[in-house]
Copies of this chain bind each other. A is one copy, B any other.
Amino acid sequence: MPDARFSDTFEEGELEIVEPLCAVFRRTLRDAGQKYTPERARILDTIIELDGLFEADALLESVREGGFRVSKATVYRTLKLLDDAGIIERIPFDREQSHYQLVYGRSPGAILVNVDTGEIESVDVPELVAIRDAICAKRGLVPEGHRLQIFARPK
């Protein structure tokens, strides 16, 4: 199995990533006195392979492909670390398990949910930032982030 610790499969046409994600994660961990283990590296790598939009159990399954052994607990613990590091974002859903999305270095967008098929797509919505900031400014708040979910069905 490949050693994910030094790979960087994250490539987006839209914007230039100056630093591999794994380096970001490693630095964040080190700054908190935490360790960059093979499990954590492998999990981040798998998230990138999944195109950055996934559920915890699907991630676990993918991580285990090829015989890599990880526990559910480690996956959940790593997801929380990645969330805290601002690399991914947890997206809670109705009557379903949470989804997670890669967000680091991407412009904040929306989740488009096809209510017929359950299919989920990530959409860029740059103008949301202005809307959000205006709402916060009016109340003397500093925006920390936002999340938009759009539900739709085929015509």
Q: Give which listed residue, B110, B114, B135, B147, contacts A135 with CB less than 8 A.
A: B110
Evaluate contact between B148 and A146: CB separation under 8 angstroms.
yes
Which residues 92-127 of A have a CB within 8 angstroms of B? 92-95, 98, 110, 112, 114-115, 123, 125, 127
A155 part of interface (Cβ distance < 8 Å):
yes
Interface residues of A, dominant DSSP? strand
A144 part of interface (Cβ distance < 8 Å):
yes
Q: How many copies does the complex hold?
A: 2
Q: Give which listed residue, B144, B147, B148, B149, contacts A153 with CB less than 8 A.
A: B144
9 extra interface residue pairs, beta carbon distance < 8 Å, beyond A90-B94, A141-B153 = A90-B95, A92-B98, A135-B150, A141-B152, A141-B155, A142-B154, A146-B148, A146-B150, A147-B151
Residues of A within 8 A of B (CB): 90, 92-95, 98, 110, 112, 114-115, 123, 125, 127-128, 131-132, 135-136, 139-155
